[in-house]
Structure 1
Amino acid sequence: MNQADDLRHLRRSNALADAAVTAVQIWLGGVFAPESFVGWICHRARLLDLAGSVKAQGNTDMYIHVQGPQPMIDAMEMACSLGPMDANVERIEVRSMAPNPRLTGFEVLG
């Protein structure tokens, strides 16, 4: 990263730090390879600096809880709807949740 990139990243980080924290549960329905999709979701959540968790139920349902600034949650929702190459996301539902101020990190459940 050069100096201009560093400055852009710092400005974006500062702007997002001021954004209100929101939380949602994202349910994905489709056909997935659970192990690779869970890893992919964790990677995206960490890149977007979101806290929360992911849980696969079989190869057809994925439950994701994410918390952070709304623009990053929107980006996560878009990324999940597209999914990785080996996932066929057919349905997506998003429900608002109350943020948990003690929630940190992103983990795999179950």
Structure 2
Amino acid sequence: MEPQGFIAFAEHRAARLSLGLKIAACDHERCRLTLSGPEALIDAFEMAVSLGPYDSIVLDVSRFQSNEDLPEKALP
């Protein structure tokens, strides 16, 4: 995965859906994003990311309601 391409894709999709987006970490293996907005639009964002930018393959998406719910291994 190319981090810059994925970040640009995520920022564009979040803006189109009027979602708040914070990129906590992103490298060649994974990205950790924090979104804010209506749940239905976050679902739409997840679908868009699953289809992904052309230069990235998204194998898995994990969702948590808050940072407190994150497993330790998910933290950068």
TM over 0.5: yes
- Name which of 71, 79, 96 aligns with 2:40: 71
Misfit runs of 4+, over 3 Å: none
Q: Say whether residues 1:48 and 2:17 are aligned partners.
A: yes
Higher Rg of the two aligned structures: 1
2:8 equivalent among 34, 39, 50: 39
Q: How many residues were matched structurally?
A: 67
Higher relative contact order (CA 8 A, sep 6+): 1
Give the aligned CA root-mean-square deviation in angstroms.
1.5
Could you say which structure has the higher strand fraction? 1
The equivalent of 2:53 in structure 1 is 84
Q: Report the TM-score, using the length of structure 2 for normalisation.
A: 0.79
TM-score by length of 1: 0.56
Structure with more helix by fraction: 2
